[in-house]
Amino acid sequence: MADSSITVAVTGGSGKVGGQVAHRLAGRGVVQRIVAPRPERAPRLPGAEVAGASYADRHAMQRALDGVDTLFLVSGREASDRVRQHANAVDAAVAAGVERIVYLSFVGAGPKATFTFARDHWHTEEYIRARGVRFTFVRDNMYQAMLPGFVGKDGCLRAPAGTGAVAAVAHDDVADAVTSVLLDEAHQAESYELTGPEALTFAQIAKHLSEVTGRPIQYHPETLEEAYLSRSTYDAHDWEVAGWVTSFQAIATGELAEVTDTVRVLTGHPPMDFRDYLGRCPQTYQHLV
Ligand X SMILES: NC(=O)c1ccc[n+]([C@@H]2O[C@H](COP(=O)([O-])OP(=O)(O)OC[C@H]3O[C@@H](n4cnc5c(N)ncnc54)[C@H](OP(=O)(O)O)[C@@H]3O)[C@@H](O)[C@H]2O)c1
Taking the least distance from each CB to ligand X, the nearer of 146 and 229 is: 146
Over the window 99 to 118, marking each residue x when it contacts ligand X by CB under 6 A and - when it does not, the resulting string is -----x-x------------
Classify the C-alpha dihedral 242-246-247-248 as positive or negative: positive
Q: What CA–CA distance (Å, rounded) separates 82 from 90?
A: 12
The reply to whether 175 sits near ligand X by the rule CB under 6 A is no
Query: Which of 18, 52, 108, 243 is the binder for ligand X (CB under 6 A)?
Result: 18
Size of the site for ligand X (CB under 6 A): 26
Among 141-149, 193-201, 203-211, 237-245, which window interacts with ligand X (CB under 6 A)?
A: 141-149
Nearest to 108 by CA among 270, 257, 274: 257
Q: What is the DSSP letter of 160?
A: S
The interface mask with ligand X, positions 37-56, x = CB under 6 A, is: xx--x------------xxx
Q: Which is nearer to ligand X, 19 or 221 (CB)?
A: 19
Contact letters (x/-) for ligand X, 188-217, by CB under 6 A? ------------------------------
| Alpha-carbon gap, residue 86 to 54, rounded angstroms | 10
Please report how close the Cβ of residue 17 comes to ligand X at its closest, in angstroms.
4
Helices (H), the chain: 16-27, 58-64, 82-96, 116-130, 171-182, 202-213, 224-230, 238-253, 262-267, 274-280
Residue 12 found at the interface with ligand X (CB under 6 A): yes
| Minimum distance of ligand X from residue 228's CB (angstroms) | 20
Q: For ligand X, which residue of 142, 159, 206, 252 counts as binding (CB under 6 A)?
A: 142
The H-or-E segment that residue 186 falls in is: none
Q: Is 164 in the site for ligand X (CB under 6 A)?
A: no
Does 16 bind ligand X (CB under 6 A)? Our answer is yes
Q: Which of 30, 34, 36, 257 binds ligand X (CB under 6 A)?
A: 36
CB 125 within 8 Å of CB 189: no
| Strand, helix or coil for residue 192 | strand
- Secondary structure (H, E, C), 36-92: ECCHHHCCCCCCEEEEECCCCCHHHHHHHCCCCCEEEEECCCCCCCHHHHHHHHHHH
Interacting residues with ligand X between 60 and 89 (CB under 6 A): 74-77, 85
Rounded-to-integer distance, Cα 23 and Cα 194, Å: 20
In the complex, which residues of this chain contact ligand X (CB under 6 A)? 11-18, 36-38, 41, 54-56, 74-77, 85, 104, 106, 140, 142-143, 146
